[in-house]
Structure 1
C-alpha cells in the first residue's frame, strides 16, 4: 500500500482523530437521546456528519494551541 509523505502527518493525524472521535461521540449521544428502539443508522450518520464538519476544522485551529499548552505543562 502506498504511503503518504511525512509532511502530510500534520493534516492526516487530525483528520483521523476527528473521524474516530466524532464517530464515537455522536453514536453515544444519539443512543443516549433516542435510545435503542428509535435509533436509526441514517440518523446517526447524519449526526456524525454534522459533528465531523465542525470538529475537523476546529481541531486544525486548536491543535497548535494544545501542543503549546502541553509543552508548558509537561516536562520534556
Structure 2
C-alpha cells in the first residue's frame, strides 16, 4: 500500500471517517427499500450524496475537533 505523507493524515482520516459513517447511516436509511429489492441502489445513491456532502465538513472540522479534545483531556 502506498504511504501518504503524515502532513495529510487529517485528510486521510476525514476520507475514511466520512465514508464509514455515511455508509452506515445510508444503510440504515435504505433498510425500508430492502423488501422492494432496491436496497443497494438506494444505499449507493444515499451514500454518495452524504459522503460528498460530509467529506468537506469532516476534513475542515477535524483540526478544530482535535484541538478541542486536546483541551478537554490531559493531552500533553
Q: Specify the TM-score bucket, using the shorter chain as the normaliser.
A: 0.7 to 0.9
Would you tell me which structure has more helix in proportion to its own residues?
Answer: 1
C-alpha separation in 2, matches of 1:47 and 1:11: 22
Aligned to 2:53: 54
Unaligned ranges ≥5, structure 2: none
Unaligned 5+ runs, structure 1: none
Other structure's SS at 2:3 match = coil
Q: If the length of structure 1 is used for normalisation, what is the TM-score? A: 0.82
Query: CA RMSD of the aligned region, Å?
Result: 1.6
Helix, strand or coil: the match of 1:55? helix
1:7 counterpart residue number: 7
Match of 2:17 in 1: 17
**TM-score, length-scaled by structure 2:** 0.82
Moved over 3 A (4+): none
Aligned residues: 74
